[in-house]
Amino acid sequence: MYILTKRPIGDITFFQRRLPFIERHEYSQNGEDGIIAAVFAMIGTTNRSCVEFGVEDGMESNTRHLIVKKGWKGLLMDGSHEVLERRVHREFITTENIEDLFRKYHVPKEFDLLSIDIDGNDYWIWKAITTYRPRVVIIEYNAHLPPEESKTIPYDPAFVWDTTDYYGASLLALRKLGEAKGYTLLGTDRNGVNAFFVESSLVPGHFDPLLWPQTYHPPAFKGKAGNRHPKDPRNRGWVDV
């Protein structure tokens, strides 16, 4: 199934044309299982260690397939759930405590995969991770924000998503943050939920430079085109980054 991803990707259109074949659902919500497999088929693995937060009860997550079926070591955290048989620890994540939590759970300084999906301070949390280095980062972006805007919600350590379109950061904001941290944006899933970054040092020989506008996908939540979250009734402000 993944034979098409065994050779370097020539350009973003080549990759996006193959997303219907690469995306695969087993434990993930938007086909991330297949995209993750395709990425690591090209760049290889090191310690097969992963960290994911915002997993709810852990039944549906980006890393569960790796942990359950591939024998990866994983740390899963969620602000509302603790399910130890699935390795889910209840931790409310802030910029102030994220690296303390990594130390608490003995996360290696360098590891293969980080997945961030907390429906809020995602941008700020990734920015705060400075002494740990994942090779691949999956992070939720807010597809309601146009691809030419570089915005995020202001940092509030107590922020809790209210299911409206006020959460997270635009794809451009995350792309700029990723580049500042030494990562290259590979693309996004077709439902407009997650962005995939790879450490830029891995790009030569694996991924060629991308055509930026074609990496954005508009909201199609649960696979339905135009399926969006309701507008924020309070019309809260954004921060330009």
Provide the whole-model pTM. 0.91
Q: Can you give the pLDDT at residue 6?
A: 46
Q: Choose among 72, 95, 75: nearest CA to 86.
A: 75
What is the CB neighbour count within 10 angstroms for residue 76?
27
Q: Can you give the pLDDT at residue 186?
A: 87
Q: Choose among 22, 36, 91: nearest CA to 69.
A: 36
Q: pLDDT for 171-193, tens place per residue?
A: 999 999 999 999 989 889 989 99
User: What is the rounded distance in angstroms from the CA atom of residue 204 to the CA atom of residue 89?
Assistant: 37
Ranges of residues in the chain whose predicted pLDDT is under 70: 1-17, 19-20, 56-59, 80-86, 205-206, 208-211, 222-226
Q: Can you give the pLDDT at residue 223?
A: 55
Q: Can you give the pLDDT at residue 226?
A: 66
Distances (CA, A) of 149 to 103, 141, 222, 241: 35, 12, 24, 9
Distances (CA, A) of 94 to 67, 91, 123, 187: 25, 9, 11, 26
Fold classified for 3-155+162-229: Rossmann fold (3.40.50)
Q: Break the chain into its structural domains and give their ranges.
A: 3-155+162-229
Q: Can you give the pLDDT at residue 214?
A: 78
Burial (Cβ within 10 Å: 0-12, 13-18, ≥19) of residue 30? buried
Q: Can you give the pLDDT at residue 12?
A: 60
User: What is the rounded distance in angstroms from the CA atom of residue 145 to the CA atom of residue 159?
Assistant: 19
Does an H or E element contain 74, and which? strand 73-78
